[in-house]
Amino acid sequence: MSKRIFVSFAKEDQIYRDGIVKQARDERSPFVFTDMSVKQPWDIAWKTNCRTKIRGCDGMIAMVSRNTLTADGAIWEINCAKEEGVPVLGIHIFKDSKVQIPGVRIVEWNWINIANFINSLG
């Protein structure tokens, strides 16, 4: 059964969000998930809508780069997931950039790390 995964990303990093979603569709991929990320900015009630969507997910993958640190929306999504008890895994977009986000485990972007996280979700 496919897990519902919210993919959080800075808008500058959307191409990488698109990449991880494409990876999940690859027949060689050891993981499968349904992408629940926000693809379009919402109106004034976006936080309410986003919280509802996050609450309905099995987990969150946060695409992490230097852009994340100044992306108010992505930081809010990550904190919302933590508040809602939704497991969060950070993925380093770039191997040479090891940005840290307090309270979030961040690993290298590879199939094994992603599969282990998705398989650990209830």
| Domain segments of the chain as ranges | 3-120
Beta bridge partners of 105: 89
Q: pTM of the prediction? A: 0.90
Query: Largest Cα–Cα distance in the chain?
Result: 40
Give burial (CB, 10 Å; 0-12/13-18/19+) of 26.
exposed
Both tokens of 83, joined, read 């508040």
Tokens of 92: 């380093």
Residues facing 106 on adjacent strands? 90
The model's confidence at residue 42, banded by pLDDT at 50, 70 and 90, is low
What is the pLDDT at residue 120?
95
Which pLDDT band, with edges at 50, 70 and 90, does 98 fall under?
confident
Domain 3-120, CATH homologous superfamily name and number: Toll/interleukin-1 receptor homology (TIR) domain (3.40.50.10140)
pLDDT score of 25: 84
Q: CA 116 to CA 99: how far, in whole Å?
A: 21
Output 105 or 38, whichever has higher pLDDT. Answer: 105
pLDDT band for 37, please (50, 70, 90 cuts): confident
- Distance CA(95)–CA(64), nearest Å, equals 11
Q: What is the mean pLDDT of residues 66-94?
A: 95
- Measure CA 76 to chain center: 12
Q: Return the closest-CA partner of residue 51 out of 17, 85, 18, 21.
A: 85
